[in-house]
Amino acid sequence: MSEGRPEGMTADSWQEWPHNRWAYQHIDEVLRTVRIPHGSTVLELAEGAPLEVEGLDAELGALSTDGLIVLRGREVVLERYLNGMTAETPHLLQSVTKSICSAVLSPFVAGGLIDVRSPIGAYVPELRGSAYDDALVQHALDMTVAVAYDETYDDPDSDVNEHDRASGWKAPRGGGAGSIPEFLATLQKNGEHGRRWHYCSANTDVLAWVLESVTGTRFTDLWAAFWPRLGAEHDALMTVDVDGFSLASGGGCVTLRDLARFGRLFLEGGRGATGDQIVPGEWVDDVRWGVSPGVDWSELPETFQAHGSYRDQFWRPGDGHGCFFGWGIYGQFVWVNPTTDVVVAKLSTQHTADDVLVAHHNHALLDRLSTLAAAAS
Amino acid sequence: MSEGRPEGMTADSWQEWPHNRWAYQHIDEVLRTVRIPHGSTVLELAEGAPLEVEGLDAELGALSTDGLIVLRGREVVLERYLNGMTAETPHLLQSVTKSICSAVLSPFVAGGLIDVRSPIGAYVPELRGSAYDDALVQHALDMTVAVAYDETYDDPDSDVNEHDRASGWKAPRGGGAGSIPEFLATLQKNGEHGRRWHYCSANTDVLAWVLESVTGTRFTDLWAAFWPRLGAEHDALMTVDVDGFSLASGGGCVTLRDLARFGRLFLEGGRGATGDQIVPGEWVDDVRWGVSPGVDWSELPETFQAHGSYRDQFWRPGDGHGCFFGWGIYGQFVWVNPTTDVVVAKLSTQHTADDVLVAHHNHALLDRLSTLAAAAS
């Protein structure tokens, strides 16, 4: 256990440092949650020859790390828990949840229930008249919806903070939307879809809504169908709003090893613990190789190299290894290196949501570990 | 699983029928919760010769039952799950939680950390100036604090509903207390303590506050120390307010068998699964035989016989068997019959909180089962 619930933590402060150090490991005490049960088949991870990395502990401390694991193939070669986190602790993923949403959604695309070239308004009538009416599902997947949405974390009047209040992640103010769907329906179009990459968390919640609409099933039930097939060892949690709607853009909580297993799934061609195809092979390929022609990437974070991009709710640094990863604010990562067959998962509670230098440091560390792990084998 | 999250359920309606039918089995999806882990030692319950009760199923249906179990000694002789409840489902206890609070508190009285003859203001400085300042701990235990508190469930302006809003159990209105402790400190004295029995849920939250104050430990951590020693088989849940303060008066959720184990504890003289004394023998005796001289019992529910009373957060019907029980609104019960050595636990989601005829029907059923179970052995 960590040092205990912080004094003075409020409904508005838990997400930020230093309260996040405790809260991200105790989300059910802070928010409404739905439990996603694990199953009886666990994707077994063997113990591999330990990876020694000089100076790692100081680096992990500087990056406010709560947990770090490195998988080479299905072998654990490095595993650290700090700040009271244990192997059994579900830790908030923030936007790494988006990548899980992508995986949960993928079979419904392959199965034909969702056409990524169809407008979202065709699936969710409640979004007609909003920015999403004529945006295609693929636009939402790739963050190229032209939507007026300001994802500035430290401005209380920004859209992302209004989104937080609608989700129950922050205390309500008078007059705001009372639920996630109500909030999503207020968002307006501000250009041509598919032209400009613009990171917008609302897009993922819209994807979850599409998924719920076509399946008639709650997102958490769909995740619950996926989780045992992946071979997860522990229950996951999902935060929900007052009406039980999932925050698919950021509300997932999983243990460190289960996050690594999730990354591993993409190196197993989308096959889960039982060998079943739980993410279609074409989806895995699209996450890795899919292109969004003509998109203006100028809003990508500076930490990205010249060829960085984003696809299907995954980040792609555009490096020589063909890496891709899930990324959440305050330091959450699942980094997949297909060249070295290595997955690195890191959960943290940083001082700041998205400081560019800290992001660069994290990316460099994850890249380095995913390379070192292969070299040491 | 039950039929799924009800359409139209709100932050104000979940507690009531028909939304309670789903919500009481999914409290973590509705409220903030702290998980109380079970331990490795389980109080084993054997399967006994089944108790056959004619017409029982119709009766359980009429009483909106979710679960019913009858223990004869340590043998399960009857066990039913309805409305989607399973042996693994934690179900809201409502005020049966009060009886658990009593048990968790009891060793600190025996150990001398709490003197039940001391005024509460001596333990909780924040309550000085409130009704609790000069009320004794025993007054709170026995519901004889003279406090202006109206426990009318269906009046939105009643104190119990203000209490619900402070706890996060109902949507906030402007100007109300923002947390349970803040609410408790507003309550005012309206007579002489120890004279009149007056059921007031706030008293139990005050007891939890006393306990937290003298131990420097959260109530949920104290429950977590108690739970494995009892021999609980499953995790429990406790609802907490925005500051993490427990609703000891009603926020507990446990599985049916664990509730029966809790009742069994009082027939084992307070000894838990490992034989340790986890509730002092004197406390068990006081729950059963303790007297509150000179108290006016006229506010006791009509279902009580002439000699009914309330002691240490337990109800005593005053029957010939010396029964005592924990009781929560909408039909939650743990009924202990020391004469027949039988425990009956029943969890329900009734149409009404505290209808007198339904209460009478429940008491009669529990009494009958606790007698029949012995006769059948």
Contact B244 A35 (CB under 8 A): no
CATH classification of the domain holding B89: 3.40.710.10
- Buried/exposed code over B346-371 (b: 16+ C-beta within 10 A; e: otherwise): bbbbbebbbeeebbebbbebbbebbb
Three-state SS at A64: coil
Chain A CB contacts of B243 under 8 Å are 9-10
Q: Using alpha carbons, select from A308, A347, A311 the residue that is nearest to residue A331.
A: A347
Residues of A recognised as catalytic: 95
Whether residue B221 is contained in a domain is answered as yes
What is the predicted ipTM?
Answer: 0.84
Chain B CB contacts of A215 under 8 Å are none
Whether residue B256 is contained in a domain is answered as yes
Whether residue A1 is contained in a domain is answered as no
B316-324: long-range contacts, CB 8 A cutoff, minimum separation 24 = B316/B288, B317/B363, B317/B367, B319/B367, B321/B367, B321/B370, B321/B371, B322/B288, B323/B367, B323/B370, B324/B266, B324/B287, B324/B288
Q: Is residue B377 predicted with pLDDT exceeding 80?
A: no
Interface test with B, best of A29, A30, A221 (most B CBs within 10 A): A29
Q: Is residue A274 predicted with pLDDT exceeding 50?
A: yes
Chain A CB contacts of B9 under 8 Å are 243-244
Contact B28 A5 (CB under 8 A): no
Whether residue A13 is contained in a domain is answered as no
| Mean pLDDT (whole number) for B178-203 | 97
| Mean pLDDT (whole number) for B128-135 | 98
What's the Cα-to-Cα distance from A36 to each of A39, A83, A212, A240, B167, rounded to whole Å?
A: 10, 24, 16, 12, 26
- DSSP result, B195-208: SB----THHHHHHH
Q: How many residues does chain A have?
A: 377
Percent of chain B surpassing pLDDT 90: 90
pLDDT tens digits along B263-293: 999 999 999 999 999 999 999 999 999 998 8
Q: Is residue B333 predicted with pLDDT exceeding 90?
A: yes
Q: Using alpha carbons, select from B234, B210, B233 the residue that is nearest to residue B222.
A: B210
Q: Which tokens belong to B266?
A: 């009082």
| Mean pLDDT (whole number) for B351-361 | 92
Place of tokens 């077994």: A44
| Mean pLDDT (whole number) for B108-130 | 97
pLDDT tens digits along B149-189: 998 988 989 999 999 999 999 998 888 999 999 999 999 99
Q: What pLDDT does B66 receive? A: 98
The alpha-helical segments, DSSP class H, found in chain A are 20-23, 27-30, 56-62, 96-110, 137-142, 159-167, 180-184, 202-215, 219-230, 256-265, 281-289, 356-375
Q: What pLDDT does B3 receive? A: 57
For residues A71 and A370, the answer to whether their CB atoms sit within 8 Å is no
Q: How confident is the model at residue B2 (pLDDT cuts 50, 70, 90)?
A: very low
| Mean pLDDT (whole number) for B202-214 | 98
Of A4, A9, A28, the CB nearest to B35: A28
Task: Tell me the CB-side half-sphere exposure of residue B105, using CA atoms within 13 A.
Answer: 28
Closest chain A residue by Cα to residue B239: A29
Q: Which tokens belong to B284?
A: 């068990």
Q: How confident is the model at residue B97 (pLDDT cuts 50, 70, 90)?
A: very high
pLDDT tens digits along B135-149: 999 999 999 999 999
| Mean pLDDT (whole number) for A278-300 | 95
Contact B9 A218 (CB under 8 A): no
Q: What pLDDT does B316 receive? A: 96
Would you give the end-to-end CA distance of chain A in angstroms? 34
Q: How far is B171 from chain A (nearest CA, A)?
A: 10
Q: What pLDDT does A175 receive? A: 85
CA dihedral B284, B286, B289, B290 (to 10 degrees): -170
Q: Is residue A109 predicted with pLDDT exceeding 60?
A: yes
Three-state SS at A244: coil
User: Cβ–Cβ contacts within 10 Å for residue B273, how many?
Assistant: 21
Q: What pLDDT does A230 receive? A: 98
Closest chain B residue by Cα to residue A8: B243
| Mean pLDDT (whole number) for B35-57 | 96
Q: Using alpha carbons, select from B235, B238, B279, B275 the residue that is nearest to residue B257.
A: B235
- Give the C-alpha separation, A185 to A175, whole Å: 15
What angle is formed at CA A288 by the lines to CA A260 and CA A231, rounded to 5 degrees? 30
User: Hey, which residues 235-264 in chain A have their CB within 8 Å of chain B?
Assistant: 240, 242-244
- Give the C-alpha separation, A365 to A359, whole Å: 10
pLDDT tens digits along A328-341: 999 999 999 999 99
pLDDT tens digits along A245-269: 999 999 999 999 999 999 999 999 9
**Higher pLDDT, residue B32 or B307:** B32
Q: How far is A53 from chain B (nearest CA, A)?
A: 36
Q: Using alpha carbons, select from B5, B83, B107, B11 the residue that is nearest to residue B349.
A: B83
Whether the ω angle into residue B6 lies within 30 degrees of 0, i.e. cis, is no
Whether residue A106 is contained in a domain is answered as yes
Parent domain of B72: 24-111+217-375
Three-state SS at B304: coil
Q: What pLDDT does B1 receive? A: 38
Q: Using alpha carbons, select from A266, A272, A153, A155 the residue that is nearest to residue A201.
A: A153
Give the H/E segment covering residue A69: strand A65-72
Q: Is residue A3 predicted with pLDDT exceeding 60?
A: no
What global pTM score does this model have? 0.91
- DSSP result, B214-265: HHTS-HHHHHHHHHHHHT-SS-EEEEB-TT--B-TTT-EEE-HHHHHHHHHH
Whether residue A269 is contained in a domain is answered as yes
Q: What pLDDT does A151 receive? A: 87
Q: Is residue A1 predicted with pLDDT exceeding 50?
A: no
Chain B CB contacts of A30 under 8 Å are 32
Q: Which tokens belong to B63?
A: 């009483």
Cα A366 vs. chain centroid, distance in angstroms? Answer: 16
Mean pLDDT of chain A: 95
Closest chain A residue by Cα to residue B172: A172
Q: Which tokens belong to A42?
A: 């666990």
pLDDT tens digits along A173-196: 888 999 999 999 999 999 999 999
Closest chain B residue by Cα to residue A36: B29
Q: Using alpha carbons, select from B341, B337, B314, B257 the residue that is nearest to residue B103.
A: B314
Number of domains in chain A: 1
Whether residue B285 is contained in a domain is answered as yes
Asked if B5 reaches chain A (Cβ–Cβ under 8 Å), the answer is yes
